Amino acid sequence: METIDHDALVAMLDRLKLTAIRDQLDTLLDEAARSDMTLREALGFLVSREIARRDERRIEMATKLAQFPFVRELEGFEWAAQPSVDQRQIRELATCRWIAHGDALLFLGPPGTGKTHLAVSLGRAAIRHNYSVQFVTAATLVATLAKAHGDGRLDEQLTIYARPKLLIIDELGYLPFEPDAAHLFFQLVSRRYERGSMMVTSNRSVVEWGTVFGDPVVATAILDRLLHHCSVITIRGDSYRLREKRRAGLLQKAGTAHEQQAENVNQ
């Protein structure tokens, strides 16, 4: 076999778009040589590096496209602060089997209780599992559909929102919808029904959705489809933000009590 010099090797890796191997060629080959790998092991080692880089890039790109409002992970969720959330159930949801089945997921609860935090964390888990994800607030979603409707592009816009495997609709019910909203939302839910998963967060219980949509009949039709294969997670309890503030207050008091005790000991 003819000897292959460094540049020729780089050119071949380039042609095959094996860019991770190309960029770290010497380091990787040194490492393979140093650890006495067999040829099979060395090949596996090189290819796994290439795959790892591609996964990283894919996740980065998909995360940008998803348009999350912030970065949150389940690891950062303080379970003890929200006892009404079943950690095991959320961890099961993070395996994304429900997305494979095209099921829906609903987070209900008052403001500040971690609905968006959990939604974003599960959305990021979905991306790691190779699902396409789009995050949008209910207000933006409806405004976008209404505008598209006005411009005669509703079908096109519905297709866009139907494309991601998981569509996360945040903050349903914070703002009252315009009269057309119920129908537009219904069309979206119908379009996605049994095709892709939807995750919805809302501060209003489902019995109030008639009021949210301003049309109880359409709200029932929306819920009928959404709840068909759906996990509903109802979070009860206090706002995490307020809790933090309150706890800060408590800690101050505890500090004072501690100081008092210390003073008593000193006396």
Minimum distance of ligand ADP from residue 142's CB (angstroms): 18
Q: Rank residues 114 and 164 by Cβ distance to ligand ADP and give the closer one.
A: 114
Nearest by Cα to 21 from 58, 40, 49: 49
What DSSP character marks residue 157?
A: H
Q: How far apart are CA 170 and CA 66, in angstroms?
A: 13
Q: Is 121 in the site for ligand ADP (CB under 6 A)?
A: no
Minimum distance of ligand ADP from residue 77's CB (angstroms): 5
Q: Which residue of 18, 62, 68, 114 would you call a contact of ligand ADP, by CB under 6 A? A: 114
Stretch that binds ligand ADP, among 17-25, 37-45, 51-59, 108-116 (CB under 6 A): 108-116
SS3 90: helix
Q: Is 112 in the site for ligand ADP (CB under 6 A)?
A: yes
With CB under 5 A as the rule, give the number of residues binding Mg ion: 1
Q: Which residue of 22, 72, 165, 192 would you call a contact of ligand ADP, by CB under 6 A? A: 72
Minimum distance of ligand ADP from residue 170's CB (angstroms): 7
Q: How far apart are CA 66 and CA 199, in angstroms?
A: 13
CB neighbours of 188 closer than 8 A, spacing ≥ 6? 141, 145, 158, 161, 162
Q: How many CA atoms lie less than 13 Å away from 94 in the CB half-sphere?
A: 15
Q: Is 116 in the site for Mg ion (CB under 5 A)?
A: yes
Minimum distance of Mg ion from residue 113's CB (angstroms): 9
Describe the strand order of the beta sheet including 197-202 as a list of residue ranges. Answer: 133-137, 166-172, 197-202, 104-108, 230-234
Pair type for strands 104-108 and 166-172: unpaired
Q: Is 137 in the site for ligand ADP (CB under 6 A)?
A: no
Q: Is 121 in the site for Mg ion (CB under 5 A)?
A: no
Q: Is 236 in the site for ligand ADP (CB under 6 A)?
A: no
Q: Which position has the token pair 């919805």? A: 200
Q: How many CA atoms lie less than 13 Å away from 68 in the CB half-sphere?
A: 24
Q: Which one of ligand ADP, Mg ion, none is in contact with 121 (Cβ closer than 5 to 8 A by kind)?
A: none
Amino acid at 127: I
Q: Is 77 in the site for ligand ADP (CB under 6 A)?
A: yes
The footprint of ligand ADP (CB under 6 A) covers 72, 76-78, 81-82, 109, 111-117, 201, 240-241
The footprint of Mg ion (CB under 5 A) covers 116
